[in-house]
Amino acid sequence: MNDLPIGTVEFSGVSKRYRLGGLGTLRGTLAALSSKVRGNGSRELWALDDVSFRIEPGSILGLIGPNGAGKTTALKLLSNITQPTMGRVAVSGRVSSLIELGAGFHPELTGRENIYLNGAILGLSRREIRDKLDQIIAFSELERFIDTPVKRYSSGMYVRLGFAVAAHVAPDVLLVDEVLAVGDASFRQRCIEHMRALRQRGVTIIFVSHNLHLIRSMCDTAMLLVGGRIQATGTVDATLSAYESALIEASAPHARPMPPDSAGKPATAQLVVTSVQVLPSSSTDQGRLLSHQEATVRVCYQARSPQQIGRIDVRTLRADDTLCSAIDSLGCDGHDDRFRVLSGGGMIDLHYHPLQLTTGRYYVLVQITDPSDSLVIAAGQSQPFDVSEPYCVPDPGVYLPRVQWVHRERSEPGEQGLERSGCYPPELSPIEQQSGGD
Amino acid sequence: MVGHWAKLYQYRDLLWLWTLREVQIRYKQSLLGIAWAVLQPLVLAVVFTFVFSQLVRVDTGEIPYPVFSYVALVPWTFLSTSLSFGIASLVNNLNLVTKIYFPREILPLASVGAALVDLGISAIIVAGMLLAYGIRPSWASLWVIPLLILQIALTVAVVLIGSALLVFFRDVRFVVPLLTQVWMYATPVIYPASIVPERFRTLYFWNPMAGIIEGYRSTLLNGTPPDITHLARGALATLALLIGGCLFFKWAEPAFADLI
């Protein structure tokens, strides 16, 4: 098992079965046993199904997939929390995880006491912790509060302390599971810097996130898990596009605009997207959407109680389900408080200036995720809409760039060069701009 | 099995720190703090003294009843505290067990360790009490050390089995206090073993706690070594429980994170 180079991770034919319900009380076990006798074995779930892969030391793998795809199970197997039902998991070197920051923290104990405890849980010896104590405290920026019980800490301070300990474990294999969903923007930035520094040191990193931008910027390779199986693996770009098309496939059927009190899930949901509309911004053009003009996607929502959210994700798709654009509320201006809590009813406008879609029929999908950015808690879809554009080539593609043609003719020395240029789409005249009323 | 011991050794600092944590948090927000370690057996000793020397007379020979019962109640409290905290330890820390790897036996073992700290504090009171009643230590008192080791082994065995069982069956939570009560009455804590009828004696001393508690009494109060035949039977039972308990715990361990 340990003849692998340090930092190697290898799954060979790994399957993991969970039994649902059943055990927990004697009565439950008896019921489970009797159902087994009757041959009713349907209450089990294969979280991973014959998964094999190998990660070489020093590489960063992005693990992506919808909820329940088996990502967390894979991490649990890697960190030895649980054992495979079949197959073999081999990891060489020290594994550490940025999964549960501040695990084992006790609110009554001081920051310093908790550093020792948490460090020991992560596998450090007391001696190692003592040696690194000053660094850990400095890293956490909690010098003034280090002898205060952590029950007086804010949640941000709590996470910072947990991260400071976890960052000093010096692993050979690091597992990261959506920790970046907690904490503020600067914390997120430090996490990323930390991961980059570890990568420099040749640490193998396995990174689970729903934030595809981050996966793209951090990882060398990616693996897409769907339903416990590897659906795609290889370069980040190929895997991500496989994932995006899988996402669209999965979300399209049940993401229709839903009235708040219709039967089923929406009635119990805390947050509902009541409508998604695509509106032309200008009052001219009789409500038509034009490629070179501005447009607004208006998302109306209803929240039964103030609802913390992670991210609003707006995708534009052509009628044939080609993804044309994907915008999310994190990508815009860092971490914006406007999008942290939704309460009551309201609407969110997303302005496109200009729209830049070519002639064709499109629709917009909206998804709102929970604060951990791992669950879609509300979704909606617009009616199909048509975009038109007066100067259309036969096959315009999906995107209408704003271009400028420049033509420079080579001229004889001493003569004035002749320069011709033109814009497309044509610049709006001042009068049109006024009537646009932006 | 060797790998498990190596892991446990590697995580020995965690065992120490977690024990410390158990001690700290148990008394951190209580008004009387660590005094509870002494008060629990002391209050029981007062109650039992009143009941068994005033209401119902129990013959304790020349030993005054308060000393007679306190010497037994202190080690008994160690066992019952270990059981109540140790057996719940895995389930109470499920967020750790499901999220991070470390040898799971650390949690129940640390509970036993924390109870041992309480025992140490109460032992000082016991010593003071013995002196107050004019009972002088003798060489036989050194028997306390092997007796204590045997009791720790027994406690660890039961806590390992109980904590693992609780993960599978939450019913255990209700069974533990009940069994602890029954066990106390099956052990010469509040009465001397001499009143147990002769025909039950063999069976009676298969309960390791019977030999251990009698042992503490004879070595500390009478200055005579414990009855080796009684003790040997208990030690045998303890060994069987300890081996069985370790094997059972290690067998059950992979399922903890999945079941909790």
Residue-wise pLDDT for A172-185, tens only, equals: 998 887 666 566 66
- Suggest the residue from A33, A96, A121, A130 to mutate for an interface test with chain B (most B CBs closer than 10 A): A121
Closest-CA residue to B185 (of B158, B165, B212, B204): B204
What are the residues whose beta carbons fall under 8 Å from the beta carbon of A175, sequence distance 6 or more?
Answer: A75, A78, A79, A95, A96, A97, A98, A99, A205, A206, A208
- Hey, are the CB atoms on B21 and A109 less than 8 Å from each other? yes
- Hey, are the CB atoms on B25 and A108 less than 8 Å from each other? yes
- Hey, are the CB atoms on B21 and A121 less than 8 Å from each other? no
Q: Determine the pLDDT at residue A248.
A: 61
Q: Determine the pLDDT at residue A111.
A: 92
Q: Determine the pLDDT at residue B86.
A: 95
Q: Determine the pLDDT at residue A179.
A: 61
pLDDT tens across A386-430, in order? 888 776 676 777 788 888 888 888 766 655 555 556 655 555 444
Q: Determine the pLDDT at residue B181.
A: 94
- Suggest the residue from B99, B251, B259 to mutate for an interface test with chain A (most A CBs closer than 10 A): B99
The two beta strands, A204-208 and A385-388, are: unpaired
- pLDDT, average across residues A200-226: 84
Residue of B18 and A319 predicted with greater confidence: B18
B156 pLDDT exceeds 70? Answer: yes
Q: Which chain A residues contact residue B258 at CB under 8 A?
A: 18-19, 82
- pLDDT, average across residues A69-75: 87
Highest mean pLDDT among A208-212, A213-217, A274-278: A274-278
Band of pLDDT at residue A131, cut at 50, 70 and 90: very high
Total residue count of chain B as it appears in this document: 260
Q: Determine the pLDDT at residue A262.
A: 36
- Hey, are the CB atoms on A120 and B17 less than 8 Å from each other? yes
Angle at A31 between CA A30 and CA A36, to 5 degrees: 95
Total residue count of chain A as it appears in this document: 438
What is the average pLDDT score of chain A? 77
Angle at A337 between CA A334 and CA A343, to 5 degrees: 140
- pLDDT, average across residues A49-58: 90
pLDDT tens across B50-103, in order? 888 888 877 777 888 889 999 999 999 999 999 999 999 999 988 888 888 889
Q: Which residues of B33-42 are buried (b: 16+ CB within 10 A; e: fewer)?
A: eeebbbebbb
pLDDT tens across A351-389, in order? 888 888 888 888 899 988 877 676 678 888 888 888 887
Q: How much is the CA Rg of chain A, to the nearest whole Å?
A: 27
Q: Which helix (H) or strand (E) holds B141?
A: none
DSSP B139: G
Highest mean pLDDT among A60-74, A347-361, A384-398, B209-223: B209-223
B residues 18-37 closer than 8 Å to A (CB): 18, 21, 24-25, 28-29
Band of pLDDT at residue B211, cut at 50, 70 and 90: very high
Q: What percent of chain A has pLDDT over 90?
A: 11
What whole-number distance in Å separates Cα of residue A34 and Cα of residue A4?
45
- Residue spans of the domains in chain A: they are 9-248, 265-388, 403-432
Q: Scan for tokens 């991770």, then name that residue.
A: A9
Band of pLDDT at residue A258, cut at 50, 70 and 90: very low
Q: Determine the pLDDT at residue B151.
A: 97
What whole-number distance in Å separates Cα of residue A165 and Cα of residue A119?
6
Q: Scan for tokens 């109650």, then name that residue.
A: B47
Residue of chain B with shortest Cα separation from A107: B25
Question: Closest to A117 (Cβ–Cβ): which among B21, B98, B171?
Answer: B21
What whole-number distance in Å separates Cα of residue B14 and Cα of residue B203?
40
Q: How many of the other CB atoms lie within 10 Å of CB of A322?
A: 14
Q: Determine the pLDDT at residue A257.
A: 40
Residues paired with A380 in a beta bridge: A366
Q: Determine the pLDDT at residue A285.
A: 57
Q: Determine the pLDDT at residue B80.
A: 95
Closest-CA residue to B111 (of B78, B137, B135): B78
pTM of the model: 0.69
| Single-letter code of the amino acid located at A139 | F
A39 pLDDT exceeds 50? Answer: no
Q: Scan for tokens 């996966």, then name that residue.
A: A215
pLDDT tens across B117-143, in order? 999 989 998 999 999 988 888 888 899
Q: Determine the pLDDT at residue A184.
A: 65
Q: Which residues of B197-230 are buried (b: 16+ CB within 10 A; e: fewer)?
A: eeeeeeebbebbbbbbbbbbbbbbbeeeebeeeb
Q: Determine the pLDDT at residue A397.
A: 78
3-class secondary structure, B248: helix
Q: Which chain A residues contact residue B13 at CB under 8 A?
A: 120, 124-127
Start-to-end CA span in chain A (Å)? 66
Contact B168/A at CB under 8 A: yes
What whole-number distance in Å separates Cα of residue B145 and Cα of residue B157?
18
Question: Encoding tokens for residue A43?
Answer: 């209450």
Residue of B192 and A247 predicted with greater confidence: B192
CA dihedral B105, B110, B113, B115 (to 10 degrees): -110
Q: How many of the other CB atoms lie within 10 Å of CB of B239?
A: 15
Q: Determine the pLDDT at residue B182.
A: 96
Q: Which chain A residues contact residue B165 at CB under 8 A?
A: none
Interface of A with B (CB under 8 A): 18-19, 23-26, 29, 76, 79-83, 95, 97, 99-100, 103-104, 106, 108-109, 113, 116-117, 120-127
As a CATH number, domain A265-388 is 2.70.50.60
Q: How many of the other CB atoms lie within 10 Å of CB of A57?
A: 17
Highest mean pLDDT among A3-12, A251-260, A279-288: A3-12
Q: Determine the pLDDT at residue B152.
A: 97
B208 pLDDT exceeds 90? Answer: yes
Q: Determine the pLDDT at residue A418.
A: 53
- pLDDT, average across residues A90-118: 85
What are the residues whose beta carbons fall under 8 Å from the beta carbon of B96, sequence distance 6 or more?
Answer: A100, A103, A104, A121, B102, B107
- pLDDT, average across residues B226-250: 93
What whole-number distance in Å separates Cα of residue A129 and Cα of residue A428?
65
Residue of chain B with shortest Cα separation from A166: B100
What whole-number distance in Å separates Cα of residue A171 and Cα of residue A365?
41
As a CATH number, domain A9-248 is 3.40.50.300
